[in-house]
Amino acid sequence: MVFNLSACGLVCFILTYMAVIYSDYVIIFQLLRPVFKEGYITTVVAVYYNLIVFLLTLAHLRAVLTDPGIVPLPNRSHIPRDLQTLKRNYPGGWTVCRKCPTIRPPRAHHCSVCNRCIRKMDHHCPWVNNCVGEDNQRFFMLFLIYTGLCCLSSLVLVAISWIADATKHATDKNQIRIIHSIVLVVISCLFGLFVIAILTDQLTAIFTDETAVEHIQRQHPRLNRLNEDADLERAVPLRKLTKFEVLRAVCGVGPIYLWPWPCLRGRRAAKPFAWSLDLLSPPATSPSSSSSSCRSSAAVPLLASDPESVYADSNLAEEEEEPPSVAS
């Protein structure tokens, strides 16, 4: 479980729940009960709306508290040859972070807010007070979807309640209810439009299998010479997968009916990365099999059973020099 203490993230976190609680209050106590009284319509609509609010809240908390894919910090000193070994056996993706001394797997990037490297980092979102990465992107998507559905439901319920109220109390207009309705419409429109924009961006990133960070690096290659990856090659080329395959990679390989539920999680298509530099060291074997075992041990620096027993204290970021063609 992770929870950042950045000021901006905490403010956005509080504002999110203030907006959700206020919207629920207005729908139930200012629109449904005054207009439809205590009838079955009020009960059915209240249950529906609060189910949306519950799923929204749960998805948000999962996005906030789930480890987005933090690359573990080093736990032993290593040497530049370790990185070269990994690059030789797994070309096109291993990088060294110059801000946290970590050898990191392909498509991992450093977040300046979390001050850690995140696997398949898309961006840092203050509204979930966390990075959006490999392991919590599904919850972030569900948060956006349920927020959009909540905003749409609020607008529809405001319109229906006022139409129904106009047929019953054409001259009896509660000023407080009018103010609450206007505020709710404004909140729903602002959050709804914002969510549509972010959701569109996320779907584009998923279906193209390209994160926001990778998109910026591709559009502005000059920036690659100025960031912490300046001394390293571009990550592995994007895989050619169908849209459904990349969507399944985000949502998990479990049944599709589990995807909309933030309380459950389908199995991932592969285990999370757990790179272990200890596996780089050749095991003690008989002389007859030394060459083959050295080769095989260097070829399996992944799937360590404990994801926290990964990297080591490193001066590699300082020892690795930039190529002559790269500006410092």
- Active-site residue numbers? 125
E strand intervals along 161-268: none
Q: Count the neighbouring beta carbons within 10 Å of the beta carbon of residue 153.
A: 18
Contact call for residues 232 and 96 (beta carbons, < 8 A): yes
Contact call for residues 211 and 107 (beta carbons, < 8 A): yes
In degrees, to the nearest 5, what angle opens at C-alpha 67 toward C-alphas 61 and 73? 155
The CA distance from 61 to 185, in Å, is: 25
**Quick check: helix, strand or coil at residue 60?**
helix
- Which tokens sit at 125? 């979102």
Question: 240 vs 85, 207, 245, CA distance in Å?
Answer: 27, 10, 10
Question: 191 vs 39, 186, 195, CA distance in Å?
Answer: 30, 9, 6
DSSP assigned state of 296: H
